[in-house]
Amino acid sequence: SPVREARVRLVFFGAAGVGKTALIRRFLQDAFEARHRRTVEELHLLELEAGPELRLRLEILDTSGSYSFPAMRRLCIGRGDAFALVYSVHEPDSFAEVQRLRDEIVEARRGAAPIVLVGNKSDLEPGRPDPRLAAAAAQRDWGCACLETSAKQGRNVVGLFQELLRQANLPGRLS
C-alpha cells in the first residue's frame, strides 16, 4: 500500500527567555544549553517515519523575538496547525504574554484554537505569585491542554510534542 503523508506545522509562542528554543532543542537533539542565544525566528523541518506506512513532515517554528512585528505574528498564527503557548513557572510576568497571544489566536481563527499551554522550567522554584494558578484558571476557561515541562531536565518534552500532534488533528491531515 502507498505511504501516506501528513504535514504538520507547530508554532512556539511565548515571552523571550521562557525556553522555547530550549524545548525545541531538547526535542530535536536531546540537548540543553545554559547560554541564552537570541533567536529572531527559526524554522526546523524534519521527516519522521511515524508508522510503517506513515511519513510525518514536521515543521517547528520558533518565533522568539518576532513580537515587535505584528504582521509576522499574524502570519505564524494563520499558518500554524497547533500552538505551544509557553510561559515559565519561575517567572510570573511571562504569563501575560500567553494571555495576549491566546486572545490573538482565537480572534484570528474565529474560535477553534489548537493550543497547548506550557509551563516550562518546572525544575526551578515557582515564582510569586505562582503563575501556575493563572494557568489552571486559563485551562478551565479556555478548555485547552495544559502541562509542565523542563527543557533542562528533559521532563515531559516528548509529552508536549505528542499533545501538540493530538491538537493538530493528525488523522485529519493524512493525504
Quote the least distance from Cβ 172 to ligand GDP, whole Å.
Answer: 29
Q: How far apart are CB 7 and ligand GDP at their closest, in Å?
A: 24
Comparing CB distances to ligand GDP, the nearer of 152 and 173 is: 152
Tell me how far, at minimum, the Cβ of 62 lies from ligand GDP, in Å.
Answer: 6
The residue whose Cβ lies closest to ligand GDP is 19
R_g of the chain, CA atoms, integer Å: 16
Shorter beta-carbon distance to ligand GDP: residue 149 or 167: 149
In the complex, what is the shortest distance from the CB of residue 39 to ligand GDP, in angstroms, rounded to a whole number?
6
- Closer to ligand GDP at the Cβ: 33 or 49? 33
122 versus 167: smaller Cβ distance to ligand GDP: 122
- The CA-CA-CA angle for residues 73, 115, 94, to 5°, reads 65
Of 22 and 98, nearer to ligand GDP (C-beta) is 22
Q: Can you give the binding site for ligand GDP, defined by CB under 6 A?
A: 14, 16-22, 33-34, 36, 39, 64, 120-121, 123-124, 150-152
